[in-house]
Amino acid sequence: MTIRAIAGITFKEAKRDRILYLLLFFAALGIVASRVLAILTVGDRVKIIKDVGLASISLFGVLMAILIGTGLVYKEIDKKTIYTLLAKPLHRSEFILGKFLGLVLTLLVMTGAMALIFLAIVFAHTGTIEGGLLVAVAYIFLELVLITAVAILFSSFSTPILSSLFALAFYLIGHLSWGLELLIKKMRPGAGRVLVHALYMVLPDLENFNFRTEVVHGLSIPPGIYLISLLYGVCYTAFILGLAVLIFRRRDFV
């Protein structure tokens, strides 16, 4: 059994999960409601539609990644199917990577569905579709790939409930870590500042994938930022997957 086979099985299992479609329904509801909100709110209606729409894709995409991803490995252990899988000529790293790629494929389909609804609403209101919106959605998906790796990491050694809490904390910290940078600038030189700086370097900075403000308000973004964010996402995801594989290899199922 190869990585491709496990990814295919994971994709088939994930697409049968009812919570996936429930979240997709609420995401679509939020995106559609953005137009109603734009009509009732004083301000630039197009900006409100774009902002709420992108926020809905990001929020419900993260919930999909966490709620589905944190149970992927645990379910195999709980149902004892992990013994059958590992009895075959299958490396544990292949198992983790297969689960990861299967869920990434599922999120790609779900993100694509949410993006189509969002772009249809924008097109109905403006008659055009800006390339910046596609870029914003692409980097939201890149963030979801990283969150998927995190969910699988925690799922490899913890229960779904705790894994969900850990993954959610990772997400929240990732979007608030910019506060540490401000704290570093205000702190005096010393051990405390070094410690905070080390913490800042280790913790994720998920704002690297957030181009919502720039796209909504039409602000210019240096092309190099896209490349830096892409490399950051790929490297951090690879690091998290490496940890997941390392932890899963050390687990004893006997």
Q: Which amino acid is at 5?
A: A
Q: How far is CA 7 from CA 93, 95, 108, 244, 247, in A?
A: 13, 9, 13, 16, 20
From first to last of its 254 residues, the chain has per-residue pLDDT tens of: 588 888 888 898 888 888 889 999 999 998 888 877 767 666 677 888 888 899 999 999 999 999 998 888 778 777 777 767 666 666 778 888 999 999 999 999 999 999 999 999 988 888 888 888 999 999 999 999 999 999 999 988 888 899 999 999 899 888 887 676 676 677 677 776 777 667 677 778 898 898 888 888 878 888 889 999 999 999 999 999 999 999 888 876 55
pLDDT at 87: 66
**Which residues are within 8 A (CB) of 6 and not within 5 positions of it... i.e. 6 or more apart?**
90, 94, 95, 97, 98, 99, 101, 102
Cβ contacts of 102 within 8 Å, gap of 6 or more: 6, 7, 8, 9, 10, 11, 13, 14, 72
SS3 call for 127: coil
In this structure, how many other beta carbons lie within 10 angstroms of the beta carbon of residue 172?
11
- Give the span between the Cα atoms of 243 and 149, in whole angstroms: 10
pLDDT of residue 154: 92
Please state the separation of Cα 178 from the chain's center in Å. 18
Q: Looking at residue 139, what is its pLDDT?
A: 95
- The domain locations on the chain are 3-250
Helix (H, G, I), strand (E, B) or coil at 222: coil
Tell me, what's the pLDDT at 204? 83
The closest alpha carbon to 149, from 59, 233, 54, belongs to: 233
Residues 33 and 47: their CA atoms lie apart, in Å, by: 14
Q: What is the pLDDT of residue 237?
A: 95
